[in-house]
């Protein structure tokens, strides 16, 4: 892959692309939509306790540490999103919340920091998803928390998340080229923590973006523009950043424009009215895709004006929770084709169902593609959540359009 170049309104530019979409297929054995909505997140979580790989150490002994790096080998996917027959094809992978460190309330035992200290190969954390990320043109995630040695936190903060600046190397080893930082944990360790995080990312040549700071990632001569905004802090006021950011990216010659939105309600499986309204507004203003995060669980995918809105991708490599109740997650991939004259053709999109952990009893901070019955269960779950938007995935995860089902009244009336 070509070396990347970064451009931006303030210093080296930042982060990467995002591809929204997820899926759903209606099958005779699938969940009924009304039944799905009556399930709360704890019921989803009960299903999610069955995860991907069989390794389940009871204690973190030397033997366990060895075993935890010896999970079932993940062979590279036979084909990343399908090749297009003309133009320049750009495949982008997107994943959810990444916290490279601990919440300040966590003990050392079974923590992300302990795992980092115990594994010799720091590529451990993204090892199981690396076959997907290596084959794409860009991978982007939502980076929550600070990479800093600062100890001063925001007053009254319930969860302050941080890791050491050297943890940024984990992203490079995982073939993650870009991050969004517009979220409610960017300033957990105040402005110093945010500055230290930016410095750590730039040391690794990782593109970043938040609020008014847009970024451009360049590969194959194609400029991918990125905007990241925080609805949790600004509400509908995020649109001022989106509109201005899209103008900046246009002036800087971006060929593709991505908006990452930190929005929604934690542990809610359906997007609220603001998410649905603002996601479509982003596309109306010129975004080629919209990626969502913050709920910490999966939400559905919508196709709007031929472009995807991924409402929430859930957690991914999530050090801030040693045993999340719902471990289901996914990778979203889409191919864009730039034709002569730089016109954009929206190519195939697909999802890869995953778990945040390679073991079921707790979080080992090692996202892993699902297999067998777990793959089918998570795929069906995403299809159920996307049914309201008329999107479904086939058994290989490729997205298509299907007739939509009515949104629940309780959500419509928010």
Angle made by CA atoms 280, 285, 289, in degrees to the nearest 5: 60
- Average pLDDT of span 153-174: 94
Q: Does the pLDDT of residue 171 top 60, yes or no?
A: yes
Strand order through the sheet with 102-103: 102-103, 161-163, 146-147
Q: Which helix (H) or strand (E) holds 234?
A: helix 231-234
Contact 346, 306 (CB under 8 A): yes
* Higher local confidence (pLDDT), 261 or 68: 261
Q: According to the model, what pLDDT value does residue 44 have?
A: 46
**Residue 181, SS3 per DSSP:** coil
Residue 88, φ and ψ in degrees, nearest 5? -95, 115
Could you read off the pLDDT of 223-252 as tens digits, one per residue?
999 999 999 999 999 999 999 999 999 999
- How far apart are alpha carbons 21 and 25 in whole angstroms? 13
Q: What average pLDDT does range 24-51 have in this prediction? A: 39
Percent of the chain topping pLDDT 70: 78
Query: E strand or H helix at 292, and its extent?
Result: strand 289-293
Confidence of residue 158 (pLDDT cuts 50, 70, 90): confident
- The per-residue pLDDT for 77 is 58
Nearest partner of 393 among 343, 333, 345, judged by Cα: 333
372-386 vs 41-48: helix axis angle to the nearest 10?
Answer: 160
Q: Express each pLDDT in 336-394 by its tens digit.
A: 999 987 899 999 999 999 999 999 999 999 999 999 999 999 999 999 999 999 999 99
SS3 call for 346: strand
Task: Report the alpha-carbon distance of residue 108 to residue 171 in Å, rounded.
Answer: 22
Average pLDDT (209-230) is 97
Maximum separation of any 2 CA atoms in the chain, in Å: 59
Better pLDDT: 10 or 230: 230
Residue 32 has pLDDT above 60, yes or no: no
The confidence score (pLDDT) of residue 252 equals: 96
Say if residues 144 and 183 touch (Cβ distance below 8 Å).
yes
**Helix, strand, coil share of the chain (percent; to 5):** 30, 25, 45
Ordered by start, the domain boundaries in the chain are: 6-412
Q: How many helices (H) and strands (E) does the chain have?
A: 12, 20
**Band of residue 78 on the pLDDT scale cut at 50, 70, 90:** low
CA dihedral (230, 23, 308, 125) positive or negative: positive
Q: Are 397 and 379 a contacting pair, CB within 8 Å? A: yes
- Crossing angle between the packed helical segments 273-284 and 238-251, to the nearest 10 degrees: 20
pLDDT band at 331 (very low <50, low <70, confident <90, very high): very high
Please spell the DSSP secondary structure of 368-395, one letter per residue: EE--HHHHHHHHHHHHHHHGGGTEEE-T
Q: Is the pLDDT of residue 143 over 60?
A: yes
The average pLDDT across 126-141 equals 98
Q: What is the mean pLDDT of the chain?
A: 84
DSSP per residue over 82-117, as a string? Answer: PPPSSSEEEEEEEEEEEE-SEETT--STTSHHHHHH
Topology of the domain covering 6-412: Purple Acid Phosphatase; chain A, domain 2 (3.60.21)
Average pLDDT over residues 277-305: 98
Query: Which position has the token pair 């960017």?
Result: 186
207 φ, ψ (degrees, to nearest 5)? -75, 140
Q: Is the pTM of this model over 0.75?
A: yes
pLDDT at 14: 34
Residue 408 pLDDT:
86
């Amino acid at each position: 892959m070509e070396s990347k170049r970064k451009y931006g309104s303030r210093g080296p530019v930042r982060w990467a692309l995002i591809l929204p979409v997820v899926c759903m297929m209606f099958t005779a054995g699938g969940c009924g939509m009304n039944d799905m909505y009556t399930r709360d997140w704890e019921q989803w979580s009960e299903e999610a306790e069955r995860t991907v790989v069989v390794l389940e150490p009871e204690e973190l002994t030397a033997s366990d540490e060895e075993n935890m790096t010896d999970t079932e080998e993940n062979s590279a996917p036979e084909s990343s999103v399908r090749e297009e027959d003309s133009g320049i094809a750009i495949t982008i992978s997107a994943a959810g919340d990444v916290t490279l460190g601990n919440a300040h309330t966590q003990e050392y035992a079974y923590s992300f920091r302990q795992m980092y200290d115990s594994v010799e190969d720091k590529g451990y954390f993204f090892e199981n998803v690396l076959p997907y990320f290596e084959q794409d043109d860009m991978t982007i995630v939502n980076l929550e928390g600070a990479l800093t040695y600062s100890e001063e936190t925001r007053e009254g903060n319930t969860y302050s998340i941080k890791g050491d600046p050297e943890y940024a190397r984990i992203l490079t080893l995982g073939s993650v080229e870009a991050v969004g930082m517009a979220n409610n944990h960017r300033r957990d360790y105040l402005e110093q923590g945010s500055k230290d995080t930016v410095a750590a990312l730039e040391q690794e040549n990782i593109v970043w973006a938040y609020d008014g700071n847009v970024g451009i990632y360049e590969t194959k001569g194609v400029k991918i523009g990125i905007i990241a905004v925080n609805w949790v802090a600004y509400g509908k006021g995020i649109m001022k950043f989106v509109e201005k950011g899209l103008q900046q990216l246009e002036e800087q010659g971006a060929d593709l424009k991505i908006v990452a939105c930190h929005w929604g309600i934690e542990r809610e499986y359906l997007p609220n009215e603001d998410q649905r309204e603002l996601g479509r507004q982003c596309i109306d203003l010129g975004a080629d895709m919209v990626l969502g995060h913050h709920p910490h669980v999966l939400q559905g995918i919508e196709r709007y004006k031929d472009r995807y809105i991924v409402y929430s991708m859930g957690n991914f490599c999530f050090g801030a929770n040693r045993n999340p109740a719902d471990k289901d997650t996914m990778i979203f991939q889409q191919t864009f084709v730039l034709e002569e004259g730089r016109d954009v053709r929206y190519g195939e999109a697909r999802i890869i169902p995953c778990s945040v952990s390679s073991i079921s009893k707790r979080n080992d901070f090692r996202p892993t593609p699902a297999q067998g019955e777990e793959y089918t269960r998570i795929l069906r779950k995403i299809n159920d959540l996307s049914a309201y938007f008329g999107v479904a995935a086939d058994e290989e995860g490729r997205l298509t359009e299907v007739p939509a089902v009515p949104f629940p009244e309780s959500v419509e009336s928010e």
